[in-house]
Amino acid sequence: MRATLDFDDEQAFRAQLDPARRESVALWDSLFEMPWRVFRSRIRAIARSNLERVEGAVCASWEEIPEGSLVLPCDDDDWFRPDVAKVIEQALEPGMTGIRWHSSFLEVPTDWRHQLGIWRRHVRGPRPQFLCTTNNYALFASEDSKQQLVNHMKASRWVGTQPAGSVPFLHDRLSLMNRTLASDTSLRPQQRSIERRPLLRKLRGYQRLYDHALPPRLAWAQPYADEMGALMRELELR
């Protein structure tokens, strides 16, 4: 799991908070009874309960990972299918330097351009902007691979330079990116802090999002989506 803020200690959280996030966090805290850091802590707890169910995997910081281990990078709100490690292990062959699979997203569009992109994915099939997204790839741990594991855009560029077959693609839905109301993509669209009215519109969108059942290929994630739905119902306006 990539580095994250200390959401449970308010003093530590305030000290670690990126200045660019402060405006959007202040807006959130002025609108909702549940502070942003508490909401994010609850989201992280849901993700960790998912990671604990991934067979044959350990959640660790970079310093704890032995050289040569297969690493599945993720943020603290991402989910994996419980058998992801087993599926990857069975697919790996000598000479492979990594592996990728279909990206899946649980999200409300950030704006009309994002909505158009989602529509195109459904109509034309997946044509991702990046070969690697937050949690749809795995690489072997080394000093050379560290930057690719920390940054999916660097990973995408790196994968694009690799020989054919060295980073194969699996047609499986082995992970899900849970882009929540509290994510940077929601609160800071286009790198700018969101305003009150758009945030309230997104609130209604996210309240509806988790009420819908996930498609069969993502049914493994339904318990965590249900937990997110329950969390959204707890989110009350001041």
Which band of pLDDT confidence, cut at 50, 70 and 90, is reported for residue 116? low
Let me know if 128 is exposed, middle or buried by CB neighbors in 10 A (0-12, 13-18, 19+).
middle
Distance of alpha carbon 31 from alpha carbon 43, whole angstroms: 19
Look at 167 and 62; give whichever has higher pLDDT. Answer: 167
Range of the domain at 57: 10-234
The answer to whether position 224 is within a domain reads: yes
The answer to whether position 2 is within a domain reads: no
Distance of alpha carbon 132 from alpha carbon 148, whole angstroms: 9
pLDDT at 124 over 60: no
The answer to whether position 215 is within a domain reads: yes
**pTM attached to this predicted model:** 0.89
The answer to whether position 97 is within a domain reads: yes
The answer to whether position 32 is within a domain reads: yes
The answer to whether position 39 is within a domain reads: yes
Average pLDDT, the chain: 90
The answer to whether position 131 is within a domain reads: yes
The pLDDT, as a whole number, for residue 111 is 57
Distance of alpha carbon 154 from alpha carbon 116, whole angstroms: 25
pLDDT digit string (tens) for 171-229? 999 999 999 999 988 898 877 889 999 999 999 999 999 999 999 999 999 999 999 99
58 Cβ neighbours under 8 A, 6+ residues apart: none
The answer to whether position 158 is within a domain reads: yes
For 12, the token pair is 């530590």
Structural domain count of the chain: 1
